[in-house]
Chains A and B, each alone.
Chain A
Amino acid sequence: MIYSAKVIEHFQYPRNVGEMPDADGIGEVINESCGDATKIYLKIEDDRIRDVKFQTFGCAAAIATSSILTEMVKGKTIDEALEVTEDKVVEALDGLPPKKVHCSNLAASALRAAINDYREKHGH
């Protein structure tokens, strides 16, 4: 299993880790087959992601994809954030080993779940 330097870097020094007590939207996704779990918290003002935090239980790939995704969506509008797909996350990490590509799905799904949660709560 060879990870890119970028994956290792995000695994060792993940960005935006933690909980957010006053989050506007929370998304949690569990991969039923491999057991990995990611929770994403969003702070949204004027349709824009002002802050984002994550928590992940999983392998290095699951942790690194969550970390880089939070970096990629911070400051973006909701519509822009929804364009950050699995493929873009994998690309930003300089790739993932073939067996680990499925891990990228976790963070992206959790982000979409958090956005849905925000929209439901705020009547959009």
Chain B
Amino acid sequence: MKRKVYLDHNATTPVDRAVVQAMLPYLHEKFGNPSSLHLYGREVRAGVEEAREKVAQALGADPKEIVFTSGGTEADFLALRGAAYANRKRGRHIITSAVEHHAVLDTCEMLAEEGFEVTVVPVDRHGMVDPGRVAGEIRPDTILISVMHANNEVGTIQPVREIGLLARERDIVFHTDAVQSFGKIPVDVRELNADLLSISAHKIYGPKGAGALWIRRGCRWSPINRGGGQERRRRPGTENVPGIIGLGEACRLAVSNLDDEARTLKTLRDRMVSYVKENFKGVWINGHPGKRLPNSAHFSFEGIEGEALLLDLDLNGIAVSSGSACSSESSVSSHVLLAMGIPDEVARCSIRVSLGKENTKEDIDYFLEVLTNTVNRLRALSPIK
């Protein structure tokens, strides 16, 4: 049988067996509505609150500050809209960065359509935001700053603590999307000087459809949704109980062995990147060389379209993602790569390789062997030399 190697953990991760075990009782036996007063409800309520404590503990937060959501995208959406509307009498100016996830950028675009003013600060060639640039954009009417903790494509870790401090000194709400960093590097809400922070379960070996928004007590934020008293009216709707239980257990596991896992992944990743650097011509290694998630690597192979590379790897059992998609009349290169100043013709030759805890040295060896063959094959096909 052909070997299968999953190297797309920044897209999603398999649910950890311990997480599955924690969730199972809540699918059938413990089916009650946590808002019900009877035994069925009470035992589920206890589970949900235990999960909230696990999430809070993993983030260095108070359980009351945790609001469960349907995932990272909803957490970002609620964070930005909730802060924007709670502060609109103080001002209408929002600052974000050019490399944010679409969950943030699209929400900012929506806010701009609704009369808010959005400034998008650029990044350097490593995808890094300069806190000085952020400071330079702050105005008297700035009410919200949102800069991600680590980038999902190239893995660059942003100077969030410094940006958070800038915001705090000026009484501006600061949100950070920690969906991609949480579980890979330490995330402590107080240390990051954040007011709002988003996480997602499925990036940390938890289930899809579950995430959380941390809202610092006292943060000027107001709920967006209406429809009931759940989550202390901050996010109404009957709780996704199995998802929440899974998120809680995934959070507990994510921080219990974080340092060892990060070190193992970094060793594997660094070995892979060194090999690519030494053995391939016309290759770009994207992202910050040092301040980068330990599991992430991002390459551009000149003369080979990322999607063709992805498909050829896929036909050999290897799963990665590409930095662009050729569709209809245009090839849409990643906004992150373009913001880093990577030329469009290079950006479209990119793949992202993101490792996870089940990957072995043999997996990486197999990947590098297939990659060598694939790059040689596709370059031989290309008229671009």
Contact = CB atoms under 8 A, between A and B. Distances in A.
Contact of A36 (B311, B315, B326): B326
B279 interface: no
A33 B307 CA distance: 16
Interface string B313-353: 00100000000001111110000000000001100100000
A interface SS class: mixed
B311 A99 contact: no
7 contacts: A8-B311, A8-B315, A11-B312, A17-B380, A37-B382, A39-B383, A59-B307
Contacts of A102: 328-329
Given A17-B380, A57-B382, A99 B303 contact: no
Interface string B347-385: 010000000000000000000000000000000111110
Given A11-B311, A33-B331, A103-B326, 10 more contacts: A11-B312, A34-B330, A35-B345, A35-B348, A36-B326, A38-B383, A57-B384, A58-B308, A62-B305, A99-B327
A73 interface: no
Q: Return the 6 tightest CB-CB contacts between A and B, nearest first.
A: A55-B383, A34-B331, A39-B383, A99-B327, A57-B382, A59-B307
Contacts of B315: 8, 12
B308 A63 contact: yes
Nearest to B311: A60
Contacts, number: 69
B383 A58 contact: no
Interface residues of B, number: 22
A14 interface: yes
Contacts of A109: none
A28 interface: yes
B382 A55 contact: yes
A65 B209 CA distance: 39
Given A57-B303, A59-B326, A28 B383 contact: yes
B383 A34 contact: no
A17 to B, nearest CB: 6
B371 to A, nearest CB: 16
Contact of B308 (A11, A33, A35, A99): A11
A56 interface: yes
Contacts of B305: 35-36, 57-59, 62
Contacts of B308: 11, 58-60, 63
Contacts of A61: 326
Contacts of B303: 57
Nearest to B332: A34
B260 to A, nearest CB: 37
Interface in A10-68: 11-12, 14, 17, 28, 33-39, 55-63
A14 B330 contact: no
Contacts of A14: 381
> Which of B305, B308, B326, B381 is most buried by chain A, counting CB atoms within 10 A of its CB?
B326
Contacts of B383: 28, 37-39, 55-57
Interface in A50-101: 55-63, 99-100
B348 to A, nearest CB: 6
A100 B305 CA distance: 14
> Which of A14, A36, A59, A99 is most buried by chain B, counting CB atoms within 10 A of its CB?
A59
A59 B331 CA distance: 10
A34 B311 contact: no
A57 to B, nearest CB: 4
A58 B384 CA distance: 10
A27 to B, nearest CB: 11
> Which of A57, A63, A99 is most buried by chain B, counting CB atoms within 10 A of its CB?
A57
Contacts of B380: 17
Interface string B278-305: 0000000000000000000000000111
A63 B307 CA distance: 11
A35 B344 contact: yes
